[in-house]
């Protein structure tokens, strides 16, 4: 059965002390395009007009009970502070509230929602006074943090949430929204205006999380979202892993063998790039995401390999990418070079990782031969391998850390360059991302089929490997 809205609000206000914001929130899904404070103001005014109407009908004796109810509502906690209510009370010769309360009501803008600190749900958290305190708190806490967009989150004490839930059940209210989402939207808009930064629901630079016990005890915690930087790296020295590896013997804890560094390798592409990045952004740490990776002993040449570096808790978000490029290239001199640094996103980082197997790569492999190889054999290798799908079982050299399985990888192009030593040759091989090139050459005791060694009928070993191109 549909209950007349004004009766519901009357019942609610007779039983509970609510400010306009908390009153309006109980009806949040009714009417659109207005905020809860304004919604509450309209509902309360409607009830006051209704009460006035009832009192005007005093001639009708059968209405006695109703009239008493209307008077109580006007003089009771729920109604008396609004300017409209005080005027009505004076007009009807009903008892007026204390002079200070009256003065406060008079001073109020009649068109602003009533933000009462006697509200039993929020205790006045939505009042102008508390709002400016919260804004001040957020401003202080965010000093020294650079951000272009924000979002507000909150935690309310469970007693507030439970009280509101009980009230809704008691009064049969079914249109309410959570105080948390109301607060987040309300404070988000206040803070956005005060700090002149837009609210961004998807990718905010920072999230202000308010912990609300009551209006006098509010804290704020600032969560700085990761900063993403895209670039390409070239690795011009061999023997450097892409990312930092914990020392195998001690698991990274540090031991005598690793000189208490906890590292398996003393340097990595990640570390060469991340130190200058941390200096430039004031971050607390990084996560390095490469578009695939090359072997430790392979160089990464050509245009370089795309990567996204994720900076945790970066306090400086306006980065001079040119200066950063110079700083990295100086710090990593003769080892690693970066280019094309620019801002990136979480989505681009995900893309980069997911699409890594779809890339094609071009390699240069300097190989040693058992005996010289003739042009006819090389032509046969090219004809047999180009367009062929390799069956590659996990190489023996990585079996200790990767599951044994067979991968299907396509070879796209094979060419060669002769070198001075007749027992050496350079192969230029283009293949799908993730192809094990050393095993394509050696066959890895038959674990890669077909292979250059197998087809050529001699043992050919890759001595030096360079990645020349990574293509998306």
Return the range that interacts with Zn ion (CB under 5 A); candidates 21-29, 37-45, 294-302, 355-363: 21-29
Q: Using the minimum distance from each CB to Zn ion, give the nearer residue, 79 or 304.
A: 79
Return the range that interacts with Zn ion (CB under 5 A); candidates 53-61, 122-130, 271-279, 377-385: 122-130
Residues shown for the chain: 472
- Cis status of the peptide bond prior to 450, with omega within 30 of 0: yes
Q: Using the minimum distance from each CB to Zn ion, give the nearer residue, 119 or 280.
A: 119
> How far is residue 86's CA from residue 95's CA, in Å, rounded to a whole number?
10
What part of residues 404-423 is at the interface with Zn ion (CB under 5 A)? Answer: none
Q: Is 119 in the site for Zn ion (CB under 5 A)?
A: yes
Return the range that interacts with Zn ion (CB under 5 A); candidates 14-22, 64-72, 74-82, 456-464: 14-22
Q: Which residues contact 110 (CB under 8 A, 6 or more apart)?
A: 83, 84
Q: Is 8 in the site for Zn ion (CB under 5 A)?
A: no
Q: Using the minimum distance from each CB to Zn ion, give the nearer residue, 63 or 243.
A: 243
Least Å distance, CB 257 to Zn ion, is 5
Q: Using the minimum distance from each CB to Zn ion, give the nearer residue, 247 or 438.
A: 247
Q: Using the minimum distance from each CB to Zn ion, give the nearer residue, 19 or 460.
A: 19
> How far is residue 241's CA from residue 7's CA, in Å, rounded to a whole number?
73
Q: How far is CA 47 from the centre of its chain?
A: 45
End-to-end CA distance of the chain: 63
Least Å distance, CB 70 to Zn ion, is 24
Is 334 assigned a catalytic role? no
Q: Using the minimum distance from each CB to Zn ion, give the nearer residue, 185 or 197.
A: 185
Q: Is 247 in the site for Zn ion (CB under 5 A)?
A: yes
Least Å distance, CB 92 to Zn ion, is 27
Least Å distance, CB 388 to Zn ion, is 43
At 271, list the tokens.
């570390």
Q: Is 19 in the site for Zn ion (CB under 5 A)?
A: yes
Return the range that interacts with Zn ion (CB under 5 A); candidates 12-20, 182-190, 234-242, 417-425: 12-20
Which of 8, 22, 70, 373 contacts Zn ion by CB under 5 A?
Answer: 22
Give phi and psi for 365, each to the nearest 5.
-125, 115
Could you identify the residue written with the tokens 């109020």? 108
Q: Which residues contact 448 (CB under 8 A, 6 or more apart)?
A: 390, 391, 392, 393, 395, 436, 439, 440, 442
Return the range that interacts with Zn ion (CB under 5 A); candidates 22-30, 31-39, 276-284, 346-354: 22-30
Q: Is 122 in the site for Zn ion (CB under 5 A)?
A: yes
**89-108 mask for Zn ion (x: CB under 5 A)?**
--------------------
Beta partners for residue 409, in sequence order: 390
Least Å distance, CB 141 to Zn ion, is 24
> How far is residue 196's CA from residue 190's CA, in Å, rounded to a whole number?
10
Least Å distance, CB 231 to Zn ion, is 31
Q: Using the minimum distance from each CB to Zn ion, give the nearer residue, 213 or 469.
A: 213
> For Zn ion, how many residues bind (rule: CB under 5 A)?
9
- Other beta carbons within 10 Å of 189: 13
Least Å distance, CB 207 to Zn ion, is 24
Least Å distance, CB 16 to Zn ion, is 10
**252-281 mask for Zn ion (x: CB under 5 A)?**
---x--x-----------------------
Return the range that interacts with Zn ion (CB under 5 A); candidates 60-68, 111-119, 285-293, 364-372: 111-119
- Catalytic residue, from 295, 330, 351, 375: name it: 295
Q: Is 250 in the site for Zn ion (CB under 5 A)?
A: yes
Q: Is 346 exposed, middle or buried (0-12, 13-18, 19+ CB in 10 A)?
A: middle
Q: Using the minimum distance from each CB to Zn ion, give the nearer residue, 10 or 16.
A: 16
Query: Cα torsion at 154, 156, 158, 161 (round to 10°)?
Result: -100
Least Å distance, CB 399 to Zn ion, is 23
Q: Using the minimum distance from each CB to Zn ion, give the nearer residue, 247 or 305.
A: 247
Catalytic residues: 295
Binding site for Zn ion (CB under 5 A): 19, 22, 119, 121-122, 247, 250, 255, 258
């Amino acid at each position: 059965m549909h209950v007349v809205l004004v009766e519901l609000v009357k019942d609610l206000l007779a039983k509970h002390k609510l400010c306009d914001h908390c009153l309006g929130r109980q009806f949040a899904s009714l009417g659109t395009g207005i905020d809860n404070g304004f919604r509450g103001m309209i509902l309360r005014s409607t009830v006051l007009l209704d009460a006035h109407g009832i009192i005007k009908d005093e001639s009708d004796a059968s209405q006695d009970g109703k009239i008493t109810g209307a008077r109580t509502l006007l003089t009771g906690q729920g109604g008396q502070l609004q300017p409209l209510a005080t005027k009505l009370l004076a007009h009807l010769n009903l008892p007026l509230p204390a002079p200070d309360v009256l003065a406060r009501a008079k001073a109020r803008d009649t068109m602003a929602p009533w933000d009462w600190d006697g509200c039993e749900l929020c205790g006045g958290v939505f009042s102008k006074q508390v709002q400016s305190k919260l804004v001040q708190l957020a401003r202080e806490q965010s000093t020294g943090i650079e951000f272009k967009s924000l979002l507000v989150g909150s935690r309310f004490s469970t007693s507030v949430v439970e009280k509101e839930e009980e009230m809704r059940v008691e009064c049969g209210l079914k249109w309410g929204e959570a105080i948390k989402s109301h607060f987040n939207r309300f404070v988000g808009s206040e803070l956005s205006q005060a700090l002149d930064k837009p609210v961004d629901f998807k990718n905010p630079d920072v999230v202000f999380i308010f912990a609300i016990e009551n209006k006098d005890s509010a804290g704020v915690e600032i969560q700085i979202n990761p900063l993403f930087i895209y670039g390409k790296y070239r690795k011009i020295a061999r023997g450097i892993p892409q990312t930092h590896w914990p020392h195998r013997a001690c698991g990274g804890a540090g031991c005598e063998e690793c000189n208490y560094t906890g590292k398996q390798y003393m340097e990595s592409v990640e570390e060469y790039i991340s130190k200058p990045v941390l200096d430039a952004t004031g971050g607390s740490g990084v996560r390095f995401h490469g578009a695939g990776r090359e072997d430790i002993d392979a160089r990464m040449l050509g245009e370089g390999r795309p990567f996204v570096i994720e900076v945790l808790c970066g306090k400086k978000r306006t980065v001079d990418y040119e200066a950063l490029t110079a700083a990295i290239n100086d710090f990593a001199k003769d080892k690693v070079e970066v280019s094309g640094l620019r801002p990136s996103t979480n989505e681009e980082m995900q893309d980069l990782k997911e699409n890594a197997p779809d890339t094609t790569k071009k390699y240069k492999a300097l190989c040693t031969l058992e005996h010289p190889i003739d042009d006819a054999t090389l032509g046969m290798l090219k004809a047999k391998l180009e367009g062929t799908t390799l069956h590659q079982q996990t190489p023996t050299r990585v079996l200790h850390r990767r599951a044994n399985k067979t991968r299907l990888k396509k070879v796209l192009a094979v060419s060669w360059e002769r070198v001075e030593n007749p027992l050496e040759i350079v192969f230029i091989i283009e293949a799908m991302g993730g192809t094990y090139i050393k095993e394509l050459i050696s066959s890895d005791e038959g674990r890669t089929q077909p292979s250059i060694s197998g087809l050529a009928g001699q043992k050919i070993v890759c001595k030096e490997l360079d990645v020349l191109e990574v293509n998306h």
